Amino acid sequence: MSKPFRIILLVFIGLALFAVIFSSGMAVGLAASNAPGIQQYLPYLSPSGEQAAAPDENLDALFQPFWESWNLVHDQYVDQPVDDTEMMRGAIRGMLASLDDPHTSYMDPEEFEQTNAPLDGEYEGIGAWVDITGEYLAIISPMPDSPAEKAGLQPDDLVIAVNGKDMTGVDGDLVLRDILGPAGTDVTLTIQRKNEPHPFDVTITRAKIVMPSAQGEMLEENVAYVQINTFGRKTTKELRDTLDELMAQDPVGLIIDLRYNGGGYLDTSVDVVSQFIESNQVVLYEELGDGSRTTYRSKNGGLATDIPLVLLVNEGSASASEIFAGAIQDYGRGTLVGTTTFGKGSVQNWVPLNNNQGAVRVTIARWLTPNERQIHNIGIEPDVVVEITEEDIEAERDPQLEKAIELLTETN
């Protein structure tokens, strides 16, 4: 049986506009066309493609309209032959979309492979974090020194067309499919920007993006600064290496920057929180649909459990970032500075389908903070609210970071 990945990644997938996205394939492995009579055997195939027990009469009747529609397309659709695999994948997408949960979705094999790339810290694309859940794909933030930043993309830019193709009403996952591509190739995005009367085109050359998930430096006033970009496979090691280096310099305080961190692996979030709180403390509760709970506790060996701490958060801090922020806030371990977080309090399993046919991402639980707060669609309000204005951006000021430094230096 394929092994699922427990992930709480925000739907705005850090689109380091890598050659990646979501959808997925069903593991029946049908060849294109050859429709007549397909309904005679397809409903009885197991996910592995082997013969399964025949469904009861009610299920047979339930699927009758599906097979009638399937045959009508093969018999009457103007452009033949149709692609059976794409039709099947479309059926799965529609099935999952009916649940009205933006975090339950379907990935074809290529999309599944490449969607995992950001959690490994290396991929090809334009280098931007995006939100795919709105009417149009929106830029959350370009990555530093990325093709997106060099091209001048800004937060809240809307992608209304890709290579001249109108994206009005197109699902965000499909918009990504058109934007992404190999390093060295160009993509032209039509951008609608706030306070700009007319859309404009931006042509960007895709590149290989290598992004550490955790990195840090010493700032003024002997304050240590660590930016965590995602909660991926390498994050715990990179964070511990960074903390080892910074803590050896005896900083007066530590800033952890979680802004625009869309999440990642649940287990990684527990490992990260464990660096800052005492062992065996509740990090989060995972609550299933039947009300049962799993408790996740901090581990031994935290490297920064006593140092004064400030977390920077904003509307792009989501899921695993919110687990981190919620635990720190509930225990009074540090001060949260910035704006209210995204509000993603659900947990997904990414379940690979057999025979390399992609994966299905399914919401399987909600999570709660140590004080049993439910933050889904609510977010976490920081202890100190600091907005970043258009004037701040134009002047290249970071008042949130400035406030964090101020709080730590005042304490000492």
**Which of 193, 210, 227 is the last residue before a domain boundary?**
210
The answer to whether position 265 is within a domain reads yes
Could you confirm whether 344 is annotated as catalytic?
A: yes
> Quick one: 270 and 191 in the same domain?
no
Number of structural domains (the chain) is: 2
Cα–Cα separations (whole angstroms), residue 6 to 91, 145, 232, 303, 364: 25, 31, 12, 25, 9
The answer to whether position 80 is within a domain reads no
**Which of 210, 225, 249 is the last residue before a domain boundary?**
210
Could you confirm whether 319 is annotated as catalytic?
A: yes
Could you confirm whether 299 is annotated as catalytic?
A: no
> Quick one: 251 and 397 in the same domain?
yes
The answer to whether position 74 is within a domain reads no
> Quick one: 311 and 169 in the same domain?
no
Strands in 200-331 per DSSP E: 200-205, 207-210, 214-219, 223-228, 253-257, 282-287, 293-297, 309-313
**Which of 175, 210, 245 is the last residue before a domain boundary?**
210
What pLDDT does 22 receive? 23
Give residue 223's domain range. Answer: 214-348+355-411
- Whose CA is closest to 383, among 323, 332, 336, 327? 336
Assess contact for 271 and 320: CB atoms under 8 A.
no
Of the listed 23, 271, 298, 344, which one is catalytic?
344
Which domain CATH number covers 151?
A: 2.30.42.10
> Quick one: 160 and 288 in the same domain?
no
The span from the CA of 1 to the CA of 380, in Å, is 37
Which domain CATH number covers 225?
A: 3.90.226.10
What pLDDT does 378 receive? 95
> Quick one: 159 and 283 in the same domain?
no
> Quick one: 136 and 179 in the same domain?
yes
The answer to whether position 25 is within a domain reads no
Of the listed 23, 298, 319, 321, which one is catalytic?
319
What pLDDT does 121 receive? 62
What pLDDT does 45 receive? 37
Token pair 């459990």 is found at: 305
Mean pLDDT by 10 residues, the chain (412 residues): 40 31 21 29 36 62 92 94 91 91 84 66 78 83 85 92 94 80 94 94 92 89 94 93 97 96 89 98 95 96 97 92 97 98 88 85 92 95 95 89 95 62
What pLDDT does 20 receive? 25
